[in-house]
Amino acid sequence: MSDRHRPAPAAVPIHELISHRWSPRAFESRPVEPAKLRTLFEAARWAASSYNAQPWYFIVATKGDSENFRRVLDCFVEFNQNWAKNAPVVALSVAGHKMTHDGSRNRHAFHDVGQAAATLALQATALGIQVHQMAGILPDKAREIFGIPPDYEAVAGFAIGYPGDPLTLPEGRLRDSEMGPRQRKPVSSFVFTGKWGQTSPIAAN
């Protein structure tokens, strides 16, 4: 687990691997050990997927590989570049849109890439590392820079590292959100039974 805890105030007890995962924007400068990085992608490998198609791909770069680090960072929107540039590892996830068994469209490709990302993030938490996922990327730029083929699409960006001191972030929204309370909708607002919008008794409190 990380030194810098920011546990979720869960309404009922959940596993600490889940409550201790969070998305920092401040990272320590120390590199992530290559063996740990390897473990993250092994964890992603074992995610479930529709037809076991495993439609996930990752393009990863460590700060030590400055050229490729810059190329991945260039695929993030400016807001994300501003803080993600300080992470020791950056990455992009890519989805394969075609099923391997019959070439049909894989309707669950993004879902399964998300599952792999979540699995990777939980494995990271177990190692004291945190992963900040990003929708704010430039998929067309990623296609151009990395030669992503037509049936594949960049899904999300990732900043990976040991969480750092929030005071290294500029004052204002970034720093405040790093230190503020963690918030979620109540379970009652999204677990239904019988018909849409009718809260299940399981989720009543």
Ligand X SMILES: Cc1cc2nc3c(=O)[nH]c(=O)nc-3n(C[C@H](O)[C@H](O)[C@H](O)COP(=O)(O)O)c2cc1C
For position 134 contacting ligand X by CB under 6 A, the verdict is yes
Return the CA Rg of the chain.
18
The answer to whether the CB of 129 falls within 8 A of the CB of 37 is no
In the shown chain, the binding pattern of residues 29 to 68 toward ligand X, with x for contact by CB under 6 A and - for none, equals: ----------------------------------------
The answer to whether the CB of 43 falls within 8 A of the CB of 99 is no
For position 162 contacting ligand X by CB under 6 A, the verdict is no
Provide the residue type at 55 as one letter.
Answer: P
Strand order in the sheet with 152-161: 56-62, 89-96, 152-161, 130-134
CB crowding 170-187: b at 16 or more within 10 Å, else e: eeeeebeebeeeeeeeee
Options 45-53, 86-94, 131-139, 142-150: segment touching ligand X (CB under 6 A)? 131-139
Q: Which of 133, 153, 158, 178 binds ligand X (CB under 6 A)?
A: 133
Q: Which is nearer to ligand X, 64 or 136 (CB)?
A: 136
For position 156 contacting ligand X by CB under 6 A, the verdict is yes
For position 136 contacting ligand X by CB under 6 A, the verdict is yes
Residue 76: CB minimum distance to ligand X, A: 8
Q: Classify burial at 64, counting beta carbons within 10 Å of its beta carbon; exposed 0-12, middle 13-18, buried 19 or more.
A: exposed
Distance CA 174, CA 3 (A): 20
Provide the residue type at 91 as one letter.
Answer: A
For position 93 contacting ligand X by CB under 6 A, the verdict is no
Residue 137: CB minimum distance to ligand X, A: 7
In the shown chain, the binding pattern of residues 2 to 21 toward ligand X, with x for contact by CB under 6 A and - for none, equals: --------------------
For position 199 contacting ligand X by CB under 6 A, the verdict is no
Instruction: Give contact residues for ligand X (rule: CB under 6 A).
Output: 22-23, 80, 133-136, 156, 182
